Structure 1
Amino acid sequence: MNEKQSTKQRLLIIRDLLKKYTDEQNELTIRELVDLYYENTEQTVGHKAIRDDLKELAESGLFDVIENHEKNGVEKYYSHQTRLFEIHELRLLIDAVSSAKFITQTETENLVNKLKKLTSYHLAKQLENRILLPAGTKTENKSVRNAINSLHEAIWKQQTIQFQYGKYTIQKDFQLNRNGDYYLVKPYALVWNNEFYYLIGEFVPEGDIRHYRIDRMRNVEVTENTFILDPNFNINHYTQTLFHMYSGEERSIEIEFVNQLLNVVIDRFGLNVNIRPHSEGTFRITTNAVISDGLVRWLLTWGSDAKVLTPPSLVDRMKTEAEKLYKQYQQ
């Protein structure tokens, strides 16, 4: 930046220097601002010009400028301390981005670097310590961000979408379902579940509600066809009863757990689940849930510490799976 700066441009540069290099713990003198101005623009500026700009920024009421005197009253320090995000809020956002498996590693780093710019240079150093996922857990699908944006737009405008859908093979190759034929769906909502984004929508050919993991969607296209949302569909009810993102029949279930699993149960079913003490070492819950492979497998995780009481159909499925597991280890 070698061209001579106008007065208005200089004012904006001073504002940006205060935003980047100052905060509640870090202040700058006019002399230091002069030096930073030269480092960033390769232009010299006088102390009086800086002082006038600081005064104009402070009097504008549009930008916070804090003036602080040294104890001896000789030198003044200036800082900008008002931020849209507090440091702990930026930590939450950065950890959310870092732990999201549907964002590629490259996009994660780009987003984190942008979030750091929302605070001062000095405070941004405190954000270096963040959640790190094991290598290979982030998606490699670079089109996810574009798909999410297209899906939000389609939901807002109530336009049908079409896309290809697939899964990985044992060779770790991505294989499209239905020989690559497109799915036609009325998009209802996006859900973030178990660290992945899902689309909930109506599968047009059959008229039933389904869910799709967005990182497994390919070539998402928004069509010109519009639709009207089913007034009887309750998105909150659907997401609450959907267990492990598997489909199935919703039923009332009763399960007995050992007391050590109380917090595990609350984490899974929420604080509103009906919990009743049973014996000295167990408790029982009653709730509505989708009877699915996901539910069965989750219950088997806890072995004999969890026992299904009702409905009989779920009890039978648990017995069948437990018997299969036993026979597998007998071979």
Structure 2
Amino acid sequence: MTQPTKIERILALMQVLNKYTDENHELSLIELTDRLIEEFDENTEITSSAVRRDLKELQSSKYYDLIAYQEDKGLPMTFSYQNKVFEIHELRLLMDAIPSARFITKTEKGKILEKIKELTSNALASNLENQIYVNELSGNEESNVKYIIFDLHNAIQDNKVIQFKYGRFNVNKQFILSNEGKYRELHPYALFWNNDYYYLIGKYPNKKDIRHFRIDRMRDVFVTDSSFLKDQDFNLSSYTQQLFHMYSGVQKDLKVRFDNHLINVIIDRFGKGVYIEPDGKDTFILRTKAIISEGLVRWLLTWGSDAKVLDPPELVKKMKEECAKMNEMYES
């Protein structure tokens, strides 16, 4: 019979308490002893008296919140660890978010979901059995995306210049590198998760415009030894709020008339602080700054005749041209 050291026994005891107890589940001294033997093997000698001493040490420790409970005199005392890092509803939020992330492969999603369950007791984890459908089509098959994200986080933190190749799929579903497959050089500023995709936001050296790139479309990412200074005026929240479907473009003052029933759409998109003004009985006017791009045109067309662009003139022109193209297409 083998006998674990006191330290091994206490660490195993803490693991058993974490795994099998919570606010709704407790274990008696005998049950804890049996679980400990299972953690090691049947040839391990662990006595209830030794476990009792270990429990007393955990109770007296300020680093482990062991709860001892006795329902009535004569009944055995039970023990539990309830100070979990995450509440069960917080773990549910994490498990709901993972399946929707397109930059994570389906295999990786399954692994992450199983690890999340380990953050609570087995009993509570059974209530976290994932009932969310993990789309077969979701999740880029480039499993190295997680390593790219890791490298980019470090580059952003250390203000290091990166080099990478970039591409897109063609109609034959072949991934084609742009820029003749040449490396691009970028000053990385931030990572941004939008519409289930991860984006890298940064600047080309000696350029003023902010750019962004889908991380799952980046290839051969390399963090150089060269450092750069970030533009202190860059505001991630302001930049991303002006983007529509992650299209780049020139910032302009935007003025649009919307039907009143779209007010919640506007608040959801721009926040409660956005400037709006009543415009008669049935409409209101939105005034904000936005990136003038094809993405903005597509977004505005979503609302059909319930949205009319008033300013800037170049966007009004783009809207008219796109409406004319759609009309011609359906007439032919």
TM range (shorter): over 0.9
Residue identity opposite 1:229 in structure 2: K
- Give the equivalent residue in structure 1 for 2:50: 49
Contact 1:98 1:130 in 2 (8 A): no
Residue identity opposite 1:5 in structure 2: P
Deviations 1:39-76 (CA, angstroms, capped at 9, x unpaired): 22112422211111111111122211111113353211
Which deviates further from its counterpart, 230-239 or 244-253?
A: 230-239
Which deviates further from its counterpart, 223-232 or 316-325?
A: 223-232
**Alignment: residue pair count:** 330
Counterparts of 1:77-88 in structure 2 under 5 Å? 77-88=78-89
Deviations 1:294-317 (CA, angstroms, capped at 9, x unpaired): 000111111111111112221111
Rounded to whole Å, the distance in 2 between the matches of 1:245 and 1:9 is: 52
Which deviates further from its counterpart, 92-101 or 176-185?
A: 92-101
Contact 2:106 2:134 in 1 (8 A): no
Counterparts of 1:54-203 in structure 2 under 5 Å? 54-203=55-204
Counterparts of 1:192-271 in structure 2 under 5 Å? 192-204=193-205, 206=207, 208-271=209-272
Query: In the TM superposition, what is the alpha-carbon distance from 1:247 to its structure 2 partner?
Result: 1.3
Rounded to whole Å, the distance in 2 between the matches of 1:249 and 1:61 is: 57
- Give the equivalent residue in structure 1 for 2:17: 18
Rounded to whole Å, the distance in 2 between the matches of 1:258 and 1:131 is: 35
- Give the equivalent residue in structure 2 for 1:311: 312
Contact 2:197 2:214 in 1 (8 A): yes
Contact 1:37 1:44 in 2 (8 A): no
Change (3 A) 1:277 1:73: farther
Query: In the TM superposition, what is the alpha-carbon distance from 1:276 to its structure 2 partner?
Result: 1.8
Query: In the TM superposition, what is the alpha-carbon distance from 1:252 to its structure 2 partner?
Result: 1.0
Query: In the TM superposition, what is the alpha-carbon distance from 1:4 to its structure 2 partner?
Result: 3.0
Which deviates further from its counterpart, 131-140 or 16-25?
A: 131-140
Contact 1:277 1:283 in 2 (8 A): yes
Change (3 A) 1:249 1:16: same
Which deviates further from its counterpart, 71-80 or 16-25?
A: 71-80
Query: In the TM superposition, what is the alpha-carbon distance from 1:3 to its structure 2 partner?
Result: 4.7
Contact 1:24 1:79 in 2 (8 A): yes
Percent of residue pairs identical: 48
Rounded to whole Å, the distance in 1 between the matches of 2:134 and 2:5 is: 47
For structure 1, the 5+ residue unaligned runs are none
Matched residue of 2:27: which SS? coil
- Give the equivalent residue in structure 2 for 1:324: 325
Rounded to whole Å, the distance in 2 between the matches of 1:291 and 1:7 is: 67
Query: In the TM superposition, what is the alpha-carbon distance from 1:167 to its structure 2 partner?
Result: 0.7
Q: What root-mean-square deviation, in Å, do the aligned CA atoms of Structure 1 and Structure 2 show?
A: 1.7
Per the normalisation by structure 2, the TM-score is: 0.94
Which deviates further from its counterpart, 41-50 or 298-307?
A: 41-50
Query: In the TM superposition, what is the alpha-carbon distance from 1:275 to its structure 2 partner?
Result: 1.6
- Give the equivalent residue in structure 1 for 2:8: 9
Rounded to whole Å, the distance in 2 between the matches of 1:207 and 1:291 is: 17
Rounded to whole Å, the distance in 2 between the matches of 1:113 and 1:285 is: 45
Rounded to whole Å, the distance in 2 between the matches of 1:278 and 1:209 is: 35
Counterparts of 1:284-299 in structure 2 under 5 Å? 284-299=285-300
Deviations 1:166-218 (CA, angstroms, capped at 9, x unpaired): 11111212111122111111111111222211111112375542111111101
Query: In the TM superposition, what is the alpha-carbon distance from 1:330 to its structure 2 partner?
Result: 1.0
Per the normalisation by structure 1, the TM-score is: 0.94
Rounded to whole Å, the distance in 2 between the matches of 1:280 and 1:228 is: 51
- Give the equivalent residue in structure 2 for 1:40: 39
Rounded to whole Å, the distance in 2 between the matches of 1:76 and 1:236 is: 53
Which deviates further from its counterpart, 14-23 or 30-39?
A: 30-39
Matched residue of 1:142: which SS? coil
For structure 2, the 5+ residue unaligned runs are none
Contact 1:34 1:44 in 2 (8 A): no
Rounded to whole Å, the distance in 2 between the matches of 1:13 and 1:71 is: 28
Residue identity opposite 1:152 in structure 2: H
Matched residue of 1:8: which SS? helix
Residue identity opposite 1:64 in structure 2: D
Query: In the TM superposition, what is the alpha-carbon distance from 1:235 to its structure 2 partner?
Result: 3.4
Query: In the TM superposition, what is the alpha-carbon distance from 1:120 to its structure 2 partner?
Result: 0.7
